[in-house]
Structure 1
């Protein structure tokens, strides 16, 4: 990974957990797990609180269909780490109802919502779907719009043996992490899962100021190199390279700052799409 804190910046309880799971599985922990355990109070708890019901809670969409939406989101962002992972999860969770290698195998409603997540201002794409089904799909979209950006910015890579062990663990535990790993800071309900995520990443105390993080999220004015970097995270995260991160650190910024500004830009872009899609759902449906 491109930030050393994501490999070695964990609290003692998280370090022990990572060592134990690596020994038991005989495979190093995937980059996404290391990243989520790095700053649980800043990002992870709020993101997982949304992820668990979005991916495995009661829904109009089956678990396999939600994994299919995650897979196609990765395809959109050209994120090989997420694409390979969720292609495998489609195979595990769909029980044959969808062939990830044959997009036409998805039912028409799923194809419509997939196109809508790519163009959330086009209400015509979901004209025949229940409003709740559209909202549930938008929640799925928020999660993977964030995670794909993080994966590309931080250079996630799949190591040998991680695909099978990681995907089966995700499916088995339904995206849940042990609660003791997420206990950090005071948790206050801000009025729903989306607002909790927005507050945790953009408004709560952290190394960087809320004003900086809000500008990173919304495309507001920032000093360089933050202006250029956060635009990459929001708009073209696949263009971020090792040199991009090295240049940020060379200007004197700390890794915690890079992590926070990346998360803020990623969450801001994801919530912008969510808000756009939410407005496209006709009232009264």
Structure 2
């Protein structure tokens, strides 16, 4: 159920920021941004910090790989808003829309390396079942993925399992393809701050 407060419950400075976003992007402000700015002291500031670190902090994974992880986790959760947002962002980051769509259509035949495939498979299992085993971790490690890469992938998974659930609970409105592409450009330029 979408609370009306997401449309109107903001301080004057935030309303001005939203007006500037609409002016320069010529797109509506995404509900993900509205939620983060609604109660910054309760959820938004902590969420932005955690998500930005997971998605843009130092990591052996590229930004494109982490955006693909976000899209994949969102696909497992069937969260349409986040699938659209992170598919567009991963496609722009890779500069390869076909690759991203191939992963989301069929992970096993997609044109990605075995380490990323094993990592996505593990994130999918964790998202679906809420648990992974030592054997799942050994399978990922056997492809040459490091413990640090696993930890970084798990941070992405955690961030988007939370975001996906909030998007579904609050009924985030879907954007047009232009809206998702505009948001992707912003995320690639500024991150999640």
What TM-score do you get using the length of structure 2 for normalisation?
Answer: 0.84
1:126: Cα distance to partner?
A: 2.7
Q: Look up the match of 2:136.
A: 125
Contact 1:90 1:98 in 2 (8 A): no
Q: Look up the match of 1:85.
A: 85
**Count of equivalent residues:** 176
Contact 2:36 2:48 in 1 (8 A): no
Larger radius of gyration: 1
Which structure exhibits the higher relative contact order, with contacts defined as CA atoms closer than 8 Å and separated by 6 or more residues? 2
Q: Look up the match of 2:4.
A: 4
Among 109, 127, 139, the alignment partner of 2:115 is 109
Question: Is the alpha carbon distance of 1:105 and 1:97 closer, same or farther for their aligned partners in structure 2, counting shifts above 3 Å?
Answer: farther
Q: Look up the match of 2:95.
A: 95
**The residue matched to 2:100 in structure 1 has which SS?**
coil
The 2-side partners of 1:112 and 1:141 are apart by 14
Map of 1:19-58 to 2, 5 A cutoff? 19-58=19-58
Q: Look up the match of 2:106.
A: none
The 2-side partners of 1:109 and 1:17 are apart by 41
The 1-side partners of 2:2 and 2:115 are apart by 39
Among 114, 134, 138, the alignment partner of 2:150 is 134
Q: Look up the match of 1:17.
A: 17
What TM-score do you get using the length of structure 1 for normalisation?
Answer: 0.58
Contact 1:22 1:28 in 2 (8 A): yes
Structure 1: state its 5+ residue gaps: 177-285
Greater share of residues in helix: 2
Map of 1:1-285 to 2, 5 A cutoff? 2-96=2-96, 99-103=99-103, 104-117=110-123, 118-119=125-126, 120-127=131-138, 128=141, 129-160=145-176, 161-176=178-193
Structure 2: state its 5+ residue gaps: 104-109
